[in-house]
Structure 1
């Protein structure tokens, strides 16, 4: 394995430049990010919501699965998963997937500039196990089905337009998506133990109705140049998309995916081996950027899953497993817990996303205290986030 740290390109929340600030400024270091003291100090005692936070931060519950979102008539969906925030005038919208079958889908909560709930509603229904996804530069949400031969659905966070199934983006066990406006492609991860990393080239940028699906090819190593090859049958009817191209690079359980405009880098995680990868889109090279097995002793961050970034350049990584923490990795290559959810060991942390101004962080505990998809809880964290 290579011992590499996070290269400091700009990583942003979702798949588009939601913050304007950059992450990981500077050059590559020789070693991976190491445990140390975080910029906010250690999480303190659990608050009334069971969240351990650094001093100065507070939490509130904004929605619970199976219950009406406070102040609305909308019942929050089970198993909340991938999410993103969208600017809405002076307020914002938080979008969240529902990782259940057969109903699945996704919902939105609208907030005023003061953070008060202004509405909640469904944006796609009748889909299956909607896990992660990604935000597009034209402010739509790509909701991805994590099932064999699953689809990508393009949805409207405002709920004004009907969701559209994007068949051309391929049928496989989709996880996350990230749009690259410079090369006019959308990167896609696949959540299986021998999955692949894809990119979709729309015929017309801004429309996902047609285009070409390609898969990354590379040798057996963890870094080096890559090539892309067209997937002959994106429908997966003849064979699974990951098995159609000789030399396709295999990844152990693709998860979160982010494109960093400032550096031309797409970052993605693989939960099966605890790794973070970086694809340099301009140079067309792939590198292993983080591996939890390369941390001496007990790694503070395990079960890497969804990721999001703050305006200050800190990367927030949610755990599926581990200690039910959101850990941050600073531009100084320090890995530290930011928060921990207590009493919910049968759950996982999903959907971390900052508001457009970077002052509030949303996330969900997918199965809450019950360990069941009907027990999901969605939280908001406020406090002195670095800007």
Structure 2
């Protein structure tokens, strides 16, 4: 039987191989709504949860308050998530929970006192902080959830993250909380959670990857380099070059992206357009120091040194030979952008400047119907992007948006609850799209005719 790593590498290459089409496509630059594309009109869900095209269906495989295999209850605020091969029938989902500690002096406490000894941090009453991750074992053949358990606890605002080629999940704290009456440790780190864990793992912060408002991460399997986003209005795009490929805890070098020939560039296009959709600019990377700074000033020092600004870097996804990431409030309308980065043939080496990496503004939304605050994103089996909208308004209107290889958008699904979709990820064989509904937390499995994309 093939190993999990072999299975993941082979099937991800097949399922995501279509992204090579992005390299040959020229985005239209307008984020226009696609015509005669997508999977068809959305059909109203009688249960008021998720509208999908004809032929697609969803199943709730986990939800808030369910008692898990370890006796704990499924936590709320399900956010970023990764999917991993377990065996010929089963996958493992590692799911973030974006929870914060109770306010100091509050009577609210984490119910699970037994987890304190295995927690990264505890609160004022000695209880584990509520943030962390949970694992779900799901049978693709039977459609049954076979096991659920907490896998990390004691962290803060675990927002998104990313899968590793060796079968673990990088969970990112979107917080720069410092010690206070409500907690004991500094936060703002990345933690690694093995997908095959059977319980709570040892909570080791990967401090060399920086202390900042982490959002998401992805890894180039060729080089082992980790790319990291930051959820701030004035965020940077980071990369971490590990000392030892595949062993992030051994340390490494943290850098920030700058645009070659344009130091201090502002890609947000809020007041003045500095990056045009479809145009490609060359990248260079700036070394960062004091990456564990308690002052939450890493992005400020990086930009001062020449790094480019991005508008709320959020979801990031590696596929084939490139990565895509969302800038949630980027663009002249502040409705969102999608960036594309193609690493150098010599990425992370002394020869890098001979053929620098390339940054492209792939999509910029001109109106809400096109694209409205993109957050987590993944890649469909045919190579198109699936993006989670994260806009809270008085009208329930968040979608899972599809993005064609021409940069056109379409509605794949509409969320009928006043919450955001998050953590979208496909099973390694490309048959099931898993997605979280943030709060009250629900994890859904979506099946359908993925091959029947119109247009």
The TM-score, its normalising length taken from structure 2, stands at: 0.74
Inter-CA distance 56–74: structure 2 relative to 1 (3 Å threshold): farther
Inter-CA distance 49–108: structure 2 relative to 1 (3 Å threshold): farther
Shifted more, 39-48 versus 234-243: the winner is: 234-243
Q: 1:348 matched to which residue of 2?
A: 420
Distance in 1 separating the partners of 2:66 and 2:221: 38
Q: 1:97 matched to which residue of 2?
A: 96
Q: 1:370 matched to which residue of 2?
A: none
Residue from 341, 363, 375 that aligns with 1:290: 363
Shifted more, 154-163 versus 187-196: the winner is: 154-163
Matches within 5 A, 1:9-88: 19-23=15-19, 25=21, 27-29=24-26, 31-32=28-29, 33-35=31-33, 36-68=35-67, 73-88=71-86
Residue from 313, 318, 337 that aligns with 2:388: 318
Offset at 1:17?
5.1
RMSD value, Cα: 2.2
Question: Retained in 1: the 8 A contact 2:242–2:253?
Answer: yes
Q: 1:253 matched to which residue of 2?
A: 312
Question: Retained in 1: the 8 A contact 2:243–2:252?
Answer: yes
Distance in 1 separating the partners of 2:430 and 2:361: 28
Distance in 2 separating the partners of 1:113 and 1:27: 34
SS of the counterpart of 2:208?
A: helix
Q: 2:145 matched to which residue of 1?
A: 117
For each residue in 1:70-104, what CA deviation from the matched residue of structure 2 results, as whole angstroms up to 9, or x when unmatched? Answer: x8844211100000110010210111100011211
Which structure 2 residue ranges, 5 or more long, are not aligned?
A: 1-7, 102-129, 177-186, 266-273, 331-335, 345-355
SS of the counterpart of 2:43?
A: coil
Q: 2:184 matched to which residue of 1?
A: none
Residue from 175, 197, 203 that aligns with 1:159: 197
Inter-CA distance 72–116: structure 2 relative to 1 (3 Å threshold): farther
Distance in 1 separating the partners of 2:248 and 2:238: 15
Distance in 2 separating the partners of 1:77 and 1:126: 13
Distance in 1 separating the partners of 2:438 and 2:296: 32
The TM-score, its normalising length taken from structure 1, stands at: 0.87
Whose helix proportion is higher, 1 or 2?
A: 2
Inter-CA distance 38–30: structure 2 relative to 1 (3 Å threshold): closer
Question: Retained in 1: the 8 A contact 2:171–2:193?
Answer: yes
Q: 2:442 matched to which residue of 1?
A: 377
For each residue in 1:239-287, what CA deviation from the matched residue of structure 2 results, as whole angstroms up to 9, or x when unmatched? Answer: 61112231111111110111223xx322111101200111121241212
Inter-CA distance 301–202: structure 2 relative to 1 (3 Å threshold): same
Question: Retained in 2: the 8 A contact 1:49–1:61?
Answer: no
Q: 1:212 matched to which residue of 2?
A: 253
Whose strand proportion is higher, 1 or 2?
A: 1
Distance in 1 separating the partners of 2:27 and 2:325: 20
Which structure 1 residue ranges, 5 or more long, are not aligned?
A: 1-11, 368-374
Residue from 174, 199, 205 that aligns with 1:146: 174
Question: Retained in 2: the 8 A contact 1:150–1:174?
Answer: yes
Question: Retained in 2: the 8 A contact 1:37–1:336?
Answer: no
